[in-house]
A and B are shown apart, each in its own frame.
Chain A
Amino acid sequence: MADDLPLLLGLLLVAAAGTAAVLVRDPVRQSFLLSLFGLALALVFLLLQAPDVALSQLAVGSALTPLMVLLSVRKVRRKARSERREEHE
């Protein structure tokens, strides 16, 4: 049981981050939670003796997912702003 303590903590972290990412509605906040979720998943992969999977999960989770989400948010907001400006004119 004591040997499994890091794995237990990692699984708890995954559960908490995953639940929070589902419950939060704001995409910017969700991007932070998704990156945390990715980090927790990478830790669990490492603890389950899969360091190669953990490597790729780290690359995707810590940089790529937030980049995609934040870029999309930025583009949508810019589009909405320009449309609003056109309506005013």
Chain B
Amino acid sequence: MSGWTAAAAALLLCGVAPAACGAATGPVRRRVPAQNLTTTLLSLVILLLAQGYGRPAYTDPALVLAVLGPAGTLLYVRLLADQLAAHPPRPRSLLAVTALSYTAVPAVVLPLCVATGPGRAMVKLLVIGVLLVLGSRVAARAVTAAVSAGHGRTGPAEGMSDG
């Protein structure tokens, strides 16, 4: 068992499993950021496994997940916007989740780039890393936007029902 596979197993156990628990239980305000964190960390696990098994083709699912994970989060934000606006997530915990993915992505991608060496494979790894960081940023901004839009919308609507 190589160090890369061991790192993937460790990240799976200590990163993906708690994030998945956060996405599986609790209120919607915690589930949505946790779901985004789960996809980001799982994509990193797939990258580590690709290096551990010595199969560059295994990075393709990581690339797909880096694109589709934030898309899924945006979907939840769009369709559960009223619940998110009613019980908005704490800005501090949202910031903590985003910061965690911002630190985890370079911590995994940069050693992989060093191990791969310069070339097309390294460019692909860097693209995946950039996509992952952008994805968490977009997801966090979408949650914040949904919360503020919900507040703007519920205010006048409540006033109208009172009148």
Contacts and interface: CB of A to CB of B under 8 A. Distances in A.
Question: Which secondary structure dominates chain A's binding surface?
Answer: helix
Contacts, number: 93
B20 A17 contact: yes
B45 to A, nearest CB: 7
B110 interface: no
Interface of A: 2-3, 5-6, 9-10, 13, 17, 20, 28-29, 32-33, 35-36, 39-40, 42-43, 46-47, 51, 54-55, 58-59, 62-63, 66-67, 70-71, 74
Interface of B: 1, 5-6, 8-9, 12-13, 16-17, 20, 23-24, 28, 31, 35, 38-39, 42, 45-46, 49, 55, 57-58, 60-61, 64-65, 68-69, 71-72, 75-76, 79-80
Contacts of B69: 62
Main secondary structure, interface of B, reads helix
Contacts of A40: 20
Given A20-B24, A36-B20, A58 B79 contact: no
A6 B52 CA distance: 11
A32 B31 contact: yes
B42 A59 contact: no
B79 A36 contact: no
A24 to B, nearest CB: 8
A63 B9 contact: no
A27 B1 CA distance: 40
Given A2-B1, A17-B24, A36-B20, 19 more contacts: A3-B5, A6-B5, A6-B8, A10-B12, A13-B12, A13-B17, A35-B72, A36-B24, A36-B38, A39-B20, A46-B49, A46-B61, A51-B60, A54-B61, A55-B64, A58-B65, A59-B68, A63-B72, A67-B75
